Amino acid sequence: MIEKVVPLTGENMQQCINLYMNVFTKKPWNEPWTEKSARERLTDLLNTPKFMGYLFYDQGDLIGMIAGQAKKSYSGMTFYVAELCVSASVQGKGYGSAILSRFENELQRHDINSLYLLTATGGAAQAFYERNGYTVNDQRVVLKKTFV
């Protein structure tokens, strides 16, 4: 299934940008990413303190990535996933679950004891995470304020 895992670095950033745009500019997200905006997003993430990110390959093709940062909390280290994407060509074939599982094992090796992420309410992404053992945190709420 997954043949190779490599850290996300500046050297392989272009591959990551291409994957990111190919996933998030299509259904169900339909987000208006450009190469420039995706590069800025992922470069900023790469330069975040306590960053950790990986690219996943199968048969020589980049099939997914996961990235975010660790933060100290009162209960130890917590990881915040900022981005997880799986190539549309392999979605629904277990790659996303395999990426999560490998990444969770890596986090535990780094003494990180919890993982948080944000995703849209309802829909396929939330269902995917719930199938992989994630639960909605009823002790937190996401608040938003838009400046026009």
- Structural domains present in the chain: 4-131 (3.40.630.30)
Q: What is the value of pTM for the model shown?
A: 0.93
> In this structure, which amino acid lies at residue 107?
L
CA distance 50 to 69: 5
- For the chain, which residues score pLDDT lower than 70? none
Dihedral of CA 24/115/90/41: which sign?
Answer: positive
Sheet with 61-73, edge to edge strand ranges:
4-7, 51-58, 61-73, 76-86, 112-117
Which pLDDT does position 26 carry in this prediction?
Answer: 92
Which pLDDT does position 123 carry in this prediction?
Answer: 86
Which pLDDT does position 95 carry in this prediction?
Answer: 96
Which pLDDT does position 1 carry in this prediction?
Answer: 84
Q: Which residue has the tokens 């190779």?
A: 4
CA distance 3 to 98: 11
